[in-house]
Amino acid sequence: MKSAVETLNPTRVRLTIEVPFEELKPSLDAAYKKIAQQVMVPGFRKGKVPPPVIDRRFGRAVVLEEAVNEALPKFYSQAVRDNSIQVLGQPEVDVTEFADGADLKFTAEVDVRPEIELPDYDNLEVTVDDAEVTDEDVAKQLDALRERFAVLTGVDRAVENGDYVSLDLRATIDGEEVEGGTATNVSYEVGSGRMIDGLDEALLGMRAGESKTFRSTLAGGPKAGEEADIEVKVNSVKVKELPELDDEFAQTASEFDTLEELRADTRKRLENIKKYEQVAQARDKVLEKLIELVEVPVPEGVLENELAWRKQNLQQQLQAVGLTQEAWLKSEGKTAEEFAAELEKNATEAIKAQFILDAIAQKEQLSVSEAELSQHIIQRAMQAGVSPDQFAQQVVQAGQVPVLVSEVVRGKALALVVEAAKVSDTSGREVDLKALYRDEATEAEKTPTEGQEAEETPAED
């Protein structure tokens, strides 16, 4: 077999491959054997039909076609190895010349990994946010903790912003009830804007036992995007009462006896969080710097696949919460064109980052130990909400082990560059990342984020 490579552009090549007919003999034998297993010929047992009989009954052309289809992947793979090509994705194969007894000639166009000229990445300079914790930060965190221990108390008055109401909802279009458009005893914070458009305005001034109908656009379900009549009934009105910020609260909400001890611990936890955020920020900014410094052509096929994956992933997430893409874009304040441009930009940068980190890993000869891979599997399993054994089994069955290995190697490559970088905060002070890596990151994990605390529902009297 002979092969030659033609570079079409920095990310795509064309392989021209020529195979002597005699090298097709194993594929021809396999083709006869396969066809013999599939056909029934009087006088012969299944699988025992001789090649001449197959030629007479079904035609030599059928055998040749089967043989070529079986041989193409094998000879293509051999040409890739012979020419040391790092291919990406599946090739576009075109048989240019073939006849019985003659050489097989075909071409294969395929995307390839671009050659990257790495810069000096030993002393990249980046700036991260200050890690200082202000009194306001501490107060805000304590207020969020008070929110978790708030209680709801019923009031006999009209609904105001900030109240918690129990309500029933019923959606109709032209007098017919919308499928899935009915809900009862729903707890809702007035003014939060977390439900259907127009609900907050409709609730203001209503009292327990009253009903009202307003028009709104449905955001989810089979009628998403359509105008509907929404009937809302208020069952009860309650206000949120926060506990006093004192020693008694500290004893109730924590393991501390005094408010000052709780305040000091809160400050320490916030400092740990901000330091941990500095590490994450340094990683992001170092990667951004690398992308700025390195010229990385992106293969069209790879970009198309990445975009398709991201769109499908988003669609699945939206379907899980009953949202259309149009409704989601509206809530995000984006047009379809803006979203498409942002999606392509993010996908392009992600692909560039992978190529750069792969190049660094190759240059530094980084590898992955079994322990490192196991730890990565445990982390990914936690993110997916499944057991490590179950996640590992899914990965093996899907043939995704090399993907996880690549993720670990890239992580090690980025960590290597980050640790060598010169990092300073916005106040000009040097940030010792190695010291931050040694800090107990678990302290940061113990403190819920503000968003998580805000999701807590106050207890009711």
CB contact at 8 A, 340 and 100: no
Q: Can you give the pLDDT at residue 461? A: 53
How many angstroms separate the CA atoms of 111 and 348, rounded? 15
Q: Which domains does the chain have, with CATH numbers?
A: 2-112 (3.30.70.1050), 151-241 (3.10.50.40), 272-460 (1.10.3120.10)
Task: Count Cβ atoms within 10 A of the Cβ of residue 93 and give its class: 0-12 exposed, 13-18 middle, 19 or more buried.
Answer: middle
Task: Count Cβ atoms within 10 A of the Cβ of residue 162 and give its class: 0-12 exposed, 13-18 middle, 19 or more buried.
Answer: exposed
CB contact at 8 A, 364 and 413: yes
User: Lowest-pLDDT range, 212-226, 245-259, 291-305, 365-379?
Assistant: 212-226
Please compute, for residue 101, the number of CA atoms within 13 A of its CA located in the half-sphere on the CB side. 0
What's the rounded mean pLDDT across residues 115-131?
A: 91
Pick from 55, 66, 80, 92: nearest CA to 4: 80
Find the length of the chain: 461
**Mean pLDDT rounded to a whole number for the chain:** 89
Is residue 436 scored above 70 in pLDDT?
no
Phi, psi of 198 (to 5 degrees): 90, -10
Q: Which of 10-14, 327-331, 396-400 has the highest mean pLDDT?
A: 10-14
Kindly report, residue by residue over 378-411, the tens digit of the pLDDT.
999 998 888 989 999 998 998 889 999 999 999 9
Which letter does DSSP use for residue 91 in this model? E
Q: Can you give the pLDDT at residue 460? A: 58
Q: Can you give the pLDDT at residue 441? A: 40
Tokens 């992580």 locate to 411
pTM of the model: 0.71
Is residue 448 scored above 50 in pLDDT?
no
How many angstroms separate the CA atoms of 288 and 154, rounded? 52
Please indicate whether residue 13 or residue 193 has the higher confidence score (pLDDT). Answer: 13
Is residue 333 scored above 60 in pLDDT?
yes
How many angstroms separate the CA atoms of 247 and 169, rounded? 42
How many angstroms separate the CA atoms of 18 and 1, rounded? 6
